[in-house]
Amino acid sequence: MNKSSAQSAPARNKPTDEKPGMRLLTAAALRGPAVRYALLAAGIVAAIVAAFSIYANRPISVQTASVEHDVAVRVFGLGTVEARVLSKIGFEVGATLVELNADHGDRVSKGQVLARLSTGEQEAKVAKARAALLIAEVNITKSAANVEKAQAILAQKQEANRRKQALVGRDVVSQQVAEEAIRDEAVAKADVAVALSEAESAKAQLTDARAQLQFEETMLRHRTLVAPYDAVVIERHKEPGTVIKAGDPIFTLIEIGSYWGLAYVDEARAGFIQVGQRVDARLRSRPQDAFTGRVARVGLESDRVTEERRVFIKGDNPPPQVYLGEQVEFWITVAQLDKALLVPAAAVHGYDGRQGSVWTVESSRLQRRLVKFRHRTEDARLEIVDGLPEGARVVARLESGLREGRSARAIEAGTK
C-alpha cells in the first residue's frame, strides 16, 4: 500500500459538517420551480383547449341557396354541320366521260344535265332494236294476211265438201271424190290453225322487239347524268376523257335547304332531349353571330365508345354559305323551370345522378340530408325536388368546420 493511498483513505472517512435539515431544504428548493412550471404549462394547455373549444363551437356563417324563377335548363353538345340529303352520283354503265357541265360550288336544278358518256356504240344498238321492231310490225301484218287466206280457203273447202256430200247420195259423184272433199276441208282447218299460231308468234316477237328497244334506249339515257334534285355541287371527282366504271362517283351533291347540325351529347345529360326543343348554336367561323334551331331527330343508337348520343338539329336561320364538317357548339333547352331550388354540384356528397347528401341549416343548426335531384344546369347546379323538411335552407358553399348540430347563420348566396 503506497503513501498516497494511505493518505486518501482517512479523507473519505472524514465526517462532514452538513446537517440533515440542511439537505432537505436544498431538495425542496430544487423542486419548487419545476412544480410551478408544470402548473403554468397545464394552465396554458387548458386555456388553449378552452379557447379552441369556444372557437370550434362558435356560430358559423354559411351561404345558402335561394329559390330562383324562370330558369332555363340547357344541355351542351359539340358537333358539326352536316347535310340530311347527300348523294354521290355516277353512271350506271361504264364508258368514256366526254362532257361535264358542273363544278365545285355550282347550284344545279332538278333534271339538269351534269355529264355525258360516249354514245356511239349504244346509239347503234338502239338503231338495231328499232329495225327489229319494224320487222316485227311487218310480220304482224303478214301473219294477219295469212290468217285471212287460210280462213278463205277453209270456207271454200267447207262449201265444196258440203256439195259433194249431197251429190254422193244421188250417185252423181263417186265415194272417192266425197272422201277427198272431207280431207281437203280438214287440211284447210289445219292451215287456219297454223296461220293463227304464226300470228300469235308475230305478236310475241313484236312485244319482245318493243322491250328490246326500250332497254337499249334506257341504256342510252344512262349515258347522260342529270341532277336528281335541286342541289349544290360539293365535289367533282372525275374529269373529261376518263374511262369510268359503272358506279364510279362523278359528283357529290347536297340538297339545297337540307343542312342540319349533328350534336354529340353525353348520355348522362341527354335523357330530357326531345324533338322540337329550342337550340342555340354558335359556328366556329362566326362566333359573333347567333343561330337558332329545333331538335329534328334524336338518334336511336348511342356511340358505344364515347358514350354519346347523336342529336340532329334543323336551323331556323342558317348562314347563306354552309361548310360541311364545320365545328358548332349547341345549347339545347330541355326545360324551363318556373321556380327551382338549385345547389352547386360541388356542395353535394355522393351524387349518383339521382340523389345525394347536402348540408342544411335547420333552426340555426347544421344537419345532413339525403335529397333527390332532377335537372342539372349547364353551370353544374342541381335542382332539388324532394327530401328537404319545411324551412330548411341548403348550404350552397362548403366551409371548413361543418358538422351536424353546430350553430350556423344562413346567408343567401350573392348577399353580404
| 3-class state of residue 134 by DSSP | helix
Q: Where are the domains of the chain?
A: 67-82+258-412, 85-117+227-255, 120-221
- Which strands form 243-244's sheet, in the order they lie side by side? 224-226, 113-117, 95-100, 243-244
Write down the pLDDT at residue 207.
93
Which residues lie below 8 Å from residue 128, measured CB to CB, with a gap of 6+?
216
Is domain 85-117+227-255 annotated with CATH 2.40.50.100? yes
Is domain 67-82+258-412 annotated with CATH 2.40.30.170? yes
Percentages (nearest 5) of helix, strand, coil residues in the chain: 35, 35, 30
Give the pairing of strands 113-117 and 95-100.
antiparallel
Give one DSSP letter per residue of 21-34, joined into a string. HHHHHHHHHHHHHH
Give one DSSP letter per residue of 199-264, joined into a string. HHHHHHHHHHHHHHHHHHHHHHHTTEEE-SSSEEEEEE---TT-EE-TT-EEEEEEETT-EEEEEE
Phi–psi pair at 373, nearest 5 degrees: -120, 165
| 3-class state of residue 302 by DSSP | coil
C-alpha cell at 108: 344545279
In this prediction the pTM is 0.67
Write down the pLDDT at residue 411.
87
Q: How far is CA 181 from CA 152, 155, 174, 325, in A?
A: 16, 12, 11, 91
Residue 237 has pLDDT above 90, yes or no: yes
Q: Could you report the per-residue pLDDT of 355-389, keeping only the tens digit for each? A: 999 999 998 899 999 999 999 998 899 999 999 99
C-alpha cell at 402: 361543418
Hey, do 67-82+258-412 and 85-117+227-255 end up sharing a CATH topology, with the first three levels equal? no
With cut-offs at 50, 70 and 90, classify the pLDDT of residue 183. Answer: confident
